[in-house]
């Protein structure tokens, strides 16, 4: 009996957390929808084009609403021990789990396609806006410094950029050595010799490096 009460309390607390996370996502989604232009400034002048393909605000609202409803059903079902509500809760959870597996498969299959699509969007934006559009430049500088990467693919993304043509140098992260010590001035010759990884490939590398951890968490959630 004590074990049953413990499980009931844990289920209630777990779903309360889901409920609160859903409310938070819902709030962020509404905020992004109302004032989300700054969210996609990483695309520079192509932000409007990117928005046609990925509407982050609506996605967050949808995800938040699902988690909000899921958390409510879980909390109410655990508290009232209503079998109908609990069945609805587990049905939604099963659908989400299946969708996660399908999403992982699609992500693996279409990684190359996504890279090609993003290259068509991001590289022209780098060439046009890096060094001249404040928010865009700050986002890229922070990304390159934190991930120790250069450009989207590599330093060649800056070859035709206004920044390089006018300043005759590349961004400092493109000339960072393995110890993350920047060699300045960052000329094309130095950038080429340093062979700093592109940011997209670096992100993929980090995701794959942590795939075991992510998979373990997914299996834990599925078991729970």
The domains of the chain are located at 1-119, 123-203
Percent of the chain predicted with pLDDT > 70 = 68
What percent of the chain is modeled with pLDDT above 90?
7
pLDDT, averaged across the chain: 76
What's the mean pLDDT in 135-140?
A: 88
Q: How far is CA 65 from CA 1, 34, 76, 223, in A?
A: 34, 17, 16, 24
Q: What is the mean pLDDT of residues 7-30?
A: 76
Mean pLDDT of 196-211: 79
pLDDT for 158 equals 92
Q: Is the pLDDT of residue 128 over 70?
A: yes
**What's the pLDDT at 215?**
62
Banded pLDDT at 66 (limits 50, 70, 90): confident
User: Is the pTM of the predicted complex or chain greater than 0.85?
Assistant: no
**Among the listed ranges 17-31, 121-135, 161-175, which one has the minimum average pLDDT value?**
17-31
pLDDT average, residue stretch 148-152: 90
Task: Using alpha carbons, list the distances in angstroms from residue 125 to 18, 38, 135, 150, 170.
Answer: 38, 15, 12, 15, 16
Using alpha carbons, select from 136, 115, 128, 141 the residue that is nearest to residue 200: 115
Q: Taking residues 12-35, what's their average pLDDT?
A: 75
Give the integer Cα–Cα distance in Å for 123 and 158. 8
Report the DSSP beta bridge partners of residue 182. 176
* Mean of pLDDT values over 139-167: 90
User: What's residue 87's pLDDT?
Assistant: 81
pLDDT tops 50 at residue 142: yes
Q: Higher confidence at residue 105 or residue 150? A: 150
To the question of domain 123-203 being in CATH 2.60.120, the answer is: no
pLDDT for the residue numbered 52: 46
pLDDT tier, 41 (very low <50, low <70, confident <90, very high otherwise): low
> Residue 53 — very low, low, confident or very high, per pLDDT cuts 50/70/90?
very low
User: How is 148-216 classified by DSSP, letter by letter?
Assistant: T--SSSSGGGGTT-HHHHHHS---GGGGB-TT--B-SS--HHHHHHHTPPPHHHHHHHHHHHTHHHHHH
24-42 average pLDDT score? 66
């Amino acid at each position: 009996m004590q074990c049953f009460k413990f499980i009931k309390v844990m289920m209630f607390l777990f779903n309360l957390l889901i409920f609160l996370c859903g409310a938070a996502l819902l709030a962020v989604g509404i905020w992004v929808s109302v004032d989300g232009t700054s969210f996609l400034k990483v695309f520079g002048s192509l932000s409007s084009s990117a928005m046609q393909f990925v509407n982050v605000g609506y996605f967050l609202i949808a995800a938040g609403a699902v988690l909000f409803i899921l958390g409510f059903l879980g909390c109410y079902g655990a508290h009232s021990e209503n079998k109908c509500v609990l069945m609805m809760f587990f049905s939604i959870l099963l659908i989400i789990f299946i969708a996660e597996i399908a999403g992982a498969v699609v992500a693996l299959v279409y990684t190359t396609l996504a890279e090609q699509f993003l290259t068509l969007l991001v590289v022209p934006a780098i060439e046009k806006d890096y060094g001249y559009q404040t928010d865009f430049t700050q986002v890229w500088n922070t990304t390159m410094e934190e991930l120790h990467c250069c450009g989207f693919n590599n330093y060649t993304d800056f070859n035709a950029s206004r920044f390089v043509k006018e300043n005759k140098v590349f961004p400092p992260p493109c000339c960072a050595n393995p110890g993350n010590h920047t060699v300045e001035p960052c000329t094309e010759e130095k950038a080429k010799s340093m062979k700093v990884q592109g940011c997209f490939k670096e992100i993929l590398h980090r995701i794959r490096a942590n795939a075991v951890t992510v998979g373990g968490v997914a299996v834990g959630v599925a078991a729970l």
